[in-house]
Structure 1
Amino acid sequence: MEIDKTLWFLLLTLLAEIIGTIGGFGSSVFFVPFANIFFDFHTVLGITAVFHLSSNLSKIYLFRKGLDKKLILQIGIPSVLFVIIGGFLSKFFESQILEIALGIFLIALSLLFLIKDKLVIPAKFKQTVIGGALSGFSAGLIGTGGAIRGLTMAAFNLEKSVFVATSAAIDMMIDLSRTIVYFSNGYITKEILIYIPFLFIIGFVGSWIGQRILKHISQDYFKRISLFLILLIGLFSLFQSLK
């Protein structure tokens, strides 16, 4: 990739990491559409999994006081199981159709929770398992499940440090699983190895900047920001897939 395109890619990656930290659901929801500009779809899946390992390690360290072990298990275990299934199925599905469906889904549900701002889903076992399974399957199939998990956790009305730390820990479990699957599928190629040191630095710096910004955002605004960003992700994904 040319030097100017590489710089744009790294700058957009930093932006995705900062916004993903502020929104609480991780950077892949923005990183995947950005990376699609520079790489083919399967390479994007591979580089997303690698980048997220550093991104999530940074968030777990910076927001470690907010970790919720119960939610990590209830959302994380079904996420890991279904990311493996989605990762294997990614070889057989047409990505455009999946991206259109995801965009519509995110737009509809984020609008629902923005309009019905008092609507809160109790964080019970059934709801957490379903949210985890959907986010894991989406992450494996099209590279990003953070928006679905973010939507689930926003509906639970979690405190922002709990939201970010727990989401990152679950994402870490997902990424370790799908990295193995993507490597076996041949998605992690020599072409992307050169970016790994830069992606690890960006993962920490972007998470740190996002943490500093979050300190100045109230809990109510945090939830609305998360839902608004998910709405933008849905619109952007739909636009990219239809273009």
Structure 2
Amino acid sequence: MKDISYIFILLALLAEIAGTIGGFGSSVFFVPIGNFFFDFQSVLGLTAIFHLSSNISKIVLFKKGLDKKLLLNIGLPSVLFVVIGGFLSKYVEGSVLEIVLGLFLVVFSTLFLIKKQIIVMPNKRNAITGGVLSGFSAGLLGTGGAIRGLTMAAFNLEKSAFIATSAFIDFVIDFARTFVYYGNGYIHKHDLLYLPFLIVIGWLGTLIGKKILSHIPQQKFKNISLLLILGIGLVTLVKTMADN
């Protein structure tokens, strides 16, 4: 076990807890953390596998809140575009896209935090648009949960509905992109040493996050999600610029 980084495992657990509290999954934290320990392609492969376990735990623990209509409107375009993004990830420079993603997250989360009177209509067009963007980003960059979180935050869902619906969408996205990443050669045998740890973390982090979430009032939930997204955007920008 000498090749295992226990610091990475601890940070992955914290990412899972934060992703559960935010409601949009751990990949928005896990991918930036993973980039400090692995090459970008390995991070994509690990993220997809890790999330399959992580999202199963969320579906089981929050399943009563599932919003089936939103699941279809966001989920179907997400699955289609995660496959497209996954294939394109072999040909597109990741650092440029990470900067674009970071800017998008910072601008839109700040806008929703400052301009609280802004209302995004919870209609089918907005849901489909969010599904397209989050799926494409997930395939290309390894994380699309924050974009989906921004979309779903506009619908003012109850906490359980938000998390259950987001997790179910994430699960089908991860299931689809795992095959694409495997075909791209992103899933490496030596990285699979972490798989047992990540499976345990997926369940443990979700349980801890659910306990914490039970003490957070509904009215504060949306702001916490947006603040976490803002932080993700800033970290993504700082890291990408530092690497270049």
Q: C-alpha separation between the residues in 1 aligned to 2:15 and 2:221?
A: 17
Q: Give, in whole Å, the separation in 1 of the partners of 2:199 and 2:154.
A: 31
Q: Are the counterparts in 2 of residues 135 and 146 from structure 1 also a CA contact under 8 Å?
A: yes
Partner residue, 2:149:
150
> What is the correspondence of 1:84-103 to structure 2 with a 5 Å cutoff?
84-103=83-102
Whether contact under 8 Å (1:58, 1:203) holds in the other structure is yes
1:186 to 2:206 alignment: no
Aligned residue for 2:5, secondary structure, equals helix
Q: Per-residue deviation at 1:2?
A: 5.0
Which amino acid counterpart does residue 76 of structure 1 have in structure 2? Answer: G
- Per-residue deviation at 1:137? 0.1
User: Offset of 1:40 from its aligned partner?
Assistant: 0.2
Q: CA deviation at 1:119?
A: 2.2
Letter in 2 for 1:123: P
> Is 2:125 the counterpart of 1:126?
yes
Asked if 1:57 is matched to 2:56, the reply is: yes
- Count of aligned positions: 242
Q: How does 1:199-214 map to 2 (within 5 A)?
A: 199-214=198-213
What is the CA–CA distance in structure 2 between the aligned matches of 1:167 and 1:129, rounded to whole Å?
14
Q: Secondary structure at the match of 2:36?
A: coil
Shift of 1:122: 2.0
1:193 CA drift (Å)? 1.4
Q: What letter is aligned with 2:105?
A: L
The 5 A counterparts of 1:31-180 are 31-180=30-179
* Runs of 4+ residues deviating >3 angstroms: none
**Which residue does the alignment assign to 1:22?**
21
Unaligned runs of 5+ in 2: none
CA distance in 1 between counterparts of 2:119 and 2:167 reads 22
Counterparts of 2:24 and 2:119 in 1: how far apart (Å)?
18
| Aligned-partner Cα distance in 2 for 1:220–1:232 | 20
Identity of aligned residues (%): 64
Q: In the alignment, is the contact (CA less than 8 A) between 1:120 and 1:157 conserved in 2? A: no
Deviation track 1:26-51 (CA, whole Å, cap 9, x = no partner) reads: 00000000000110000000000000
Per-residue displacement from partner, 1:140-177 (whole Å, max 9, x unpaired)?
A: 00100000000111111111111100000000010000
CA contact (8 A) 1:51 1:196 kept: yes
TM-score, with length taken from structure 2: 0.97
| 1:44-102 per-position Cα deviation (integer Å, ceiling 9, x unaligned) | 00000000000000000010111011111110000000000000000001100000000
Q: Which residue of 2 aligns with 1:235?
A: 234
1:195 positional shift: 1.1
Q: How far apart are the structure 1 equivalents of 2:100 and 2:12?
A: 24
Partners of 1:229 and 1:119 in 2: CA distance: 19
CA distance, structure 2, for counterparts of residue 15 and residue 117 of structure 1: 29
Matching residue's letter, 2:22? G
Give the drift of 1:210.
Answer: 0.4
* Unmatched 5+ stretches in structure 1: none
Report the CA distance between 1:116 and its aligned residue.
1.2
Tell me, what secondary structure is at the counterpart of 2:157? coil
